[in-house]
Structure 1
Amino acid sequence: MTSVKQFQVTFDCAEPERVARFWCEVLGYVVPPPPEGFATWEDFDHSLPPERQGAAFACTDPSGVGPRLFFQRVPEGKVVKNRVHLDVRVGAGLVGEERVAVLEAECARLVALGATRVQLLRADGYNESCLTMQDVEGNEFCLD
């Protein structure tokens, strides 16, 4: 019998803290407490060698159910479509125009946080409507 494994989702990005704080707002996640001995994450960050300062940040589901999200600085920028993306389930169980209205409302909230709207994909008889977006660094995600 295999056991369920814990996992985290890791994002490569230019500004880890900025992207992490965006996703905290999207998902209702929180920044975990800083390591023992440090009053703030800023204090911890300043204790690192200069080349490691600002290189990583994380956020967690306050209920402990969802995966930890980890954001790491990488030197290269994003150049192609993500091979993996998050679907933020805001319209689960809804159909038709009711679903589209919920997707549009969440889209407006996220655009105010710095996200970019890409395209509404209308229901096609097989898939329900979803809305494609990009986070503050251009990583694709869907409102589903």
Structure 2
Amino acid sequence: MARQAAGMTTPARTVQITLDCPDPHALALFWAAALGYQLEPPPPGHASWEDALEAFGVPPERRNDRSAVVDPAGQGPRLFFQRSEGPVPSGRRVHLDVRAAPGLLDEERMAALEAECRRLQALGARLVERHEPSPPLERGHLVLSDPAGHVFCLD
């Protein structure tokens, strides 16, 4: 399905809502209970997130850096929680992640994000930051602001 925006067509995108917080797992449990959501299941081939994070080589002290909850019916947005200690420099605690490169990795992922960034810049967005991929958890993303200054990520 394509959408028309400022004379351009693009596939419909999904979004996730991202919340910065000091304890991602605890906040994920709260929102799962509050919304009737569930913790996001571990990747295929892993019985638990602990098993997956161990296999990915994530050190124990970094295993609560992020968490997510999903709507079991698949209709509501994914809520993503990322560790942030103390005040956030930009003052933002909640932002949208525009899922522009699902399933892509490394250079292919960043190229897709850059292409979408150029399209959005033509519509009035501004590139704020570029975050390079940093395995095992970081896949790389771009931070932009919309024409009114609201920050969002291309993920």
TM-score, normalization by structure 1: 0.49
Pick the structure with more strand per residue: 2
Q: Give the greater-gyration-radius structure (CA).
A: 1
Tell me the TM-score normalised to structure 2 length: 0.46
